[in-house]
């Protein structure tokens, strides 16, 4: 799922502005000192805001498998 779709869902469910959500992404990434994807950070933010995101579960699984395989290849 792309980050923009997640941002739109959070905006619709919270009334926060898109700019505020972007700001929250940057703050969360800085506080975690990690190179997490924007999509993953958006899931964390949604959880904190009690927003249930509608996701394509098959697509998320595909992304997860791709990332894990890529890490295995890079680490070998």
Helix-helix angle 3-14:38-48, to 10 degrees: 20
Q: Is the pTM of this model over 0.75?
A: no
Place of tokens 């990434």: 29
Give domain limits for the chain.
Answer: 3-75
- For 52-75, the pLDDT digits (tens) are 887 765 555 566 665 666 566 666
User: What would the two tokens of residue 17 be?
Assistant: 């502005």
Q: Is the pLDDT of residue 37 over 60?
A: yes
pLDDT, residue 10, reads: 95
Query: Which of 1 and 28 is assigned the larger pLDDT?
Result: 28
Mean pLDDT (the chain) is 82
Distance CA(50)–CA(69), nearest Å, equals 31
Q: 8: pLDDT confidence band, cut at 50, 70 and 90?
A: very high
Structure tokens at 43: 């899931």
Record the tokens describing residue 70, joined without a space: 């890529």
């Amino acid at each position: 799922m792309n980050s923009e779709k997640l941002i739109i869902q959070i905006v619709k469910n919270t009334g926060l502005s898109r700019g505020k959500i972007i700001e929250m992404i940057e703050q969360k990434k800085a506080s975690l000192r990690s190179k997490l994807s924007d999509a993953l950070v958006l899931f964390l933010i949604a959880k904190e805001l009690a927003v249930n995101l509608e996701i394509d579960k098959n697509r998320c699984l595909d992304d997860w498998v791709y990332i894990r395989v890529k890490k295995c290849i890079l680490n070998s």
